[in-house]
Amino acid sequence: MAISTSTPPDGAPGTAAPDGSGSGAERRSTLLHRLDVRGAPYAFVAPFFVVFAAFSFYPLVYTSWISLHRVELSTLNVMEWVGFDNYTALWDDDRFWNALLNTFTIGVLSTVPQLMMALGLAHLLNYQLRGSTFFRVAALTPYATSVGAAALVFTMLFERDFGMINWMLSLVGIDNIDFENNKWAAQTAISTIVIWRWTGYNALLYLAAMQAIPRDRYEAAAIDGASRWQQFLKVTVPGIRSTIVFTIVLSTIGATQLFGEPLIFGQGPNGITGGADNQYQTLGLLLYEEGWKNYQMGRAATVAWAMFLLLIVLFVVQRLVKRVLARRA
Amino acid sequence: MTTDSIPVETADARPGTVQKKTRKNAPPGGRSRQLFRHPGAGRQHHAGPLAYILLGIAALFSLFPLYWTMVAASTDNTRVTQTPPPFLPGPHLLDNLGKAWQDAALGKAMLNSLIVAGVIALSTVLFATLAGFAFAKLRFKGRNILLMLVIGTMMVPPQLGVVPLFMMMTELGWGQQLPAVIFPTLVSAVGVFFMRQYLSEALPDELVEAGRVDGAHSLRIFWSIVLPIARAPMAVLFMITFVHAWNDFFWPFIVLDMSNPTVPVALTQLSAGYVRDQSLIMAGALLGTLPLLAMFVVFGRQIVGGIMQGAVKG
């Protein structure tokens, strides 16, 4: 066993044999031993919790405090109490509702096709394949590109006058689409970037779960006369349900945060506002616009809280849907 | 204690066997069993031509934008803006790469990204292995609650704390400095969870107990028993974290500026100008992606295996 490779530490307090009588050194060593056994686990998990508390939890709580103040980017230490003014202003702001709706529509446009395609891809990868490693690595490669690079490339592919996608559409007789200025075209283009980067990643998660499904379930289904398509629906999909829920949660979180893709798709000045008419401004972009373009950090914090509330609402809805589905199954 | 699984798991627990294990679990194992089964009974169907065609299309969809980045980066701006667009590489690749390197200050950005992603990946792996070991194999009060907390923190998007974090960094004097990017991401809940899952399976309780009987203290057990066993998943976690840290955009974009950017931040510079040279933009995009693509070519199989290992199964 591997233990033979680990030599006991020379002269470390723990090496004292436990069978002797209670000499002073020994008592000290058992004390140290007990301290080690009790304390070490906490020492091992402490770094995670310390860093998380300092840089994630504390800021999250402090966000709510800031959102009740007027704070300007240039004078961050001057905080003027305004109560819920930022919230009422946000409620009355058309840009907020527009960004909320855009976040939702782009989220649906990117998440639903992405997960459906990932499911199909995982199913294909689950066949016995020649070159399966190639197909798996190829599927995952987009995951290695940064938002920056991917968005730049797709922005060019979606270019109005010379972009490759419009050129291909022209081959089948469709006129040039102004992907930047047409609201739905822009949102579709942005969703495409998201879909491209994450489909393979999700497919691999599904594939791992599919390979853990016991074989006899398929055999039982085949004996009962289920076709391959029925086997997929009745065995595969229920078999990986918890993974599907997991990816839905991850994609939803990702969708509410969407920032880099629309920013870069807007190519500079129009990026932060999400297009000339805010046609693809997400909540992430609105947060940035309020804080770092309009210099109103208090308002930016309010947008952050709105994003948090949105997530909570989505999770409650997801829970309810899950419960209803579980009852039906 | 998981006595029933130990004989199997110890065989797999030697360092360096993880990739083999994933490979073994996947198609080959299925194939040997498949021989004795009635066709259509098992799940491991052989792929037909349609499956290959569909997979081929998927691979094309995945790889074409990258190929085309290279094509566009190797032509000049007038050629790339003509229709039909170019499909074959042109002669200007090196020129464009050199110009993009200068225009976007990519030298500094690359170095910054390397430092940021390297430090974050190292510390994430170290702390995730420590915490993962504690959660998997050590008994302590509040273990379950703390583990639930770790899982809960995966749900908290970093965007929500970004305003106070920016104020903190300004106060600390870290604005536009790399520590502002590094510190908030030194640990990862996903990493802790990943290592816990691996160690609770691959590390037999007997080994830890044997270490204790021999009088090794916890840190010693971690160093001499856990680390050798966890080497392979640590490598995978390192690569995954490195990719994420290299590609991270939102927070670096906010806290850094063009004088001291990471690669994704520097790339925004390329498209923000009024004179837009598309070939140059593509050259920059290519440069920013190349290090990770190289990593994928070399370690693709391990990264794929690692992501599949970290998946929630069942």
Where is average pLDDT lowest: B23-32, B52-61, B244-253, B304-313? B23-32
Chain B contacts of A231, Cβ < 8 Å?
A: 43
- Chains A, B: CB pairs < 8 Å: 384
Task: Report pLDDT for A33.
Answer: 82
Question: Is A152 within 8 Å of B271 when comparing Cβ atoms?
Answer: yes
Chain B contacts of A238, Cβ < 8 Å?
A: none
Coil vs helix vs strand at A1:
coil
Coil vs helix vs strand at A102:
helix
Cβ(B257)–Cβ(B42) below 8 Å:
no
Q: Which of residues 156-175 of A touch B (CB under 8 A)?
A: 156-157, 161-164, 167, 170
Question: What's the pLDDT tens digit per position in A20-58?
Answer: 455 677 777 788 888 888 889 999 999 999 999 999 899
> For A3, which of B51, B225, B247 is closest by C-beta distance?
B225
Mean pLDDT (chain B) is: 82
Q: Rounded to 5 degrees, what angle do the CA atoms A253, A255, A256 make?
A: 70
Cβ(B42)–Cβ(A210) below 8 Å:
no
Task: Report pLDDT for B216.
Answer: 85
Residue B263 to residue B252: CA distance in whole angstroms: 10
Compute chain B's Rg from CA coordinates: 24
Chain B interface includes A41 (CB < 8 A): yes
> For A2, which of B66, B165, B207 is closest by C-beta distance?
B207
Question: Is B210 within 8 Å of A1 when comparing Cβ atoms?
Answer: yes
Confidence check: pLDDT of A8 > 80? no
For every residue of chain B, DSSP letters joined together read --GGGHHHHHHH-STT-HHHHHHHHTHHHHHHHHTTS-TTTSS-PBP-HHHHHHHHHHHHHHHHHHHHHHHHHTS-HHHHTSSSPP-S--S-HHHHHHHHHHHTTHHHHHHHHHHHHHHHHHHHHHHHHHHHHHHHH---TTHHHHHHHHHHHTTS-GGGGHHHHHHHHHHHT-TTSHHHHHGGGS--HHHHHHHHHHHHHHS-HHHHHHHHHTT--HHHHIIIIIHHHTHHHHHHHHHHHHHHHHH--HHHHHH--TTS--HHHHHHHHHHSSS--HHHHHHHHHHHHHHHHHHHHHHHHHHHHHHHHTSPP-
Confidence check: pLDDT of A274 > 50? yes
Which residue of chain B comes nearest to A132, CA vs CA? B27
Å between A143 CA and nearest CA of chain B? 8
Q: Which of residues 88-117 of A touch B (CB under 8 A)?
A: none
ipTM of the complex: 0.84
Chain B contacts of A304, Cβ < 8 Å?
A: 159-163
End-to-end distance of chain A based on CA atoms, in angstroms? 47
**Smallest Cα–Cα separation from A132: which of B13, B258, B198, B46?**
B46
Both tokens assigned to B143:
């273990």
Reported pTM: 0.84
> For A259, which of B62, B217, B250 is closest by C-beta distance?
B250
Q: Rounded to 5 degrees, what angle do the CA atoms A252, A255, A257 make?
A: 115
Confidence check: pLDDT of A90 > 60? yes
Chain B contacts of A221, Cβ < 8 Å?
A: none
